[in-house]
Amino acid sequence: MVMIKWSESILDNEAIPDRPEKSLRHCIILTQTAFGFIMENAERELDEDYKIGLTIYTKANKYFVRAVILGENYMSQRYHGFGEWLNYSPNKDINFGNDDVEALYWLAAAYGGAVSSSRGNPEWVIQLPKVGKLLNKALEIDPNWNYGSLYSAMIPYSLSRPDAPVNASDVAEGYYRKAIIASGGSDLSSHVSYAENVLIASQNRSEFVRLLTFVLESNHRGIKELEVGNYMAKKRAQWLLGRTEELFY
């Protein structure tokens, strides 16, 4: 596939792009590829051959780490002191604008992927709060950006954040409802994220099956920004449905 080959060439080139916009573009491509193809392969393989699964996770982690570097490079060139802000410097505040939301979102996604693919590596686990900081800042600026993508991203983060409240599932469901409204139901990834992160935990099998079946039968087209995400959502929905018996007991 073209995206995978493109991602491999980006990963092999250790030089930082000469233009900031190129850094952001490469960050997005690496993150999409790692989430949509490599991470999913790692999860599938883990059940068949644990060692091979871990090897694929390691590969995915390289993509995400590179994406983090490129995303931070883009933001640091736009804003002096971005690294200080991201690392919670009390004396650093940045006045981000609407045109920064995309970069904040994808850098958060890259960080989240790096944490997940590290398989509990403390070096990355301690970076998890940065995901929340980036997403919350983006939500402050434009909460409905890209048909509710920020709300969708907050579903898993609400449950995995180190300071998750007792009612984290309710918080995640609230973001899910907002995501549906923002996209008019066209963003299928929000349904998959809710099913995977909330419905499995609550062991709501009937709703899990209903929601993922809805995703597979949906034929949402015409929104270019959601095409890649919806394609990946359908792939994941099919895989999750195939694991229903082992996920619910």
Quick one: what percent of the chain has pLDDT higher than 90? Answer: 80
Is the pLDDT assigned to residue 18 strictly greater than 90?
Answer: no
pLDDT tens per residue, range 164-182:
999 999 999 999 999 999 9
What average pLDDT is seen over the chain?
93
Closest CA to 64 of 130, 19, 1, 18: 130
- Averaged pLDDT for residues 17-45: 92
Q: What's residue 3's pLDDT?
A: 72
Number of H helices, E strands in the chain: 14, 0
Is the pLDDT assigned to residue 1 strictly greater than 70?
Answer: no
pLDDT tens per residue, range 61-81:
999 999 999 999 999 999 999
Q: What's residue 219's pLDDT?
A: 83
Cα separation of 103 and 107, whole Å? 6
Residue tagged 């963003």 (tokens): 187
- Averaged pLDDT for residues 55-61: 96
Q: What's residue 103's pLDDT?
A: 98
Cβ–Cβ under 8 Å, residues 41 and 56: yes
Closest CA to 125 of 133, 136, 117: 117
Is the pLDDT assigned to residue 222 strictly greater than 80?
Answer: no
pLDDT band for 151, please (50, 70, 90 cuts): very high
pTM: 0.94
Closest CA to 31 of 7, 51, 14, 55: 7
Is the pLDDT assigned to residue 96 strictly greater than 80?
Answer: yes
pLDDT tens per residue, range 174-220:
999 999 999 998 999 999 999 999 999 999 999 999 999 999 999 86
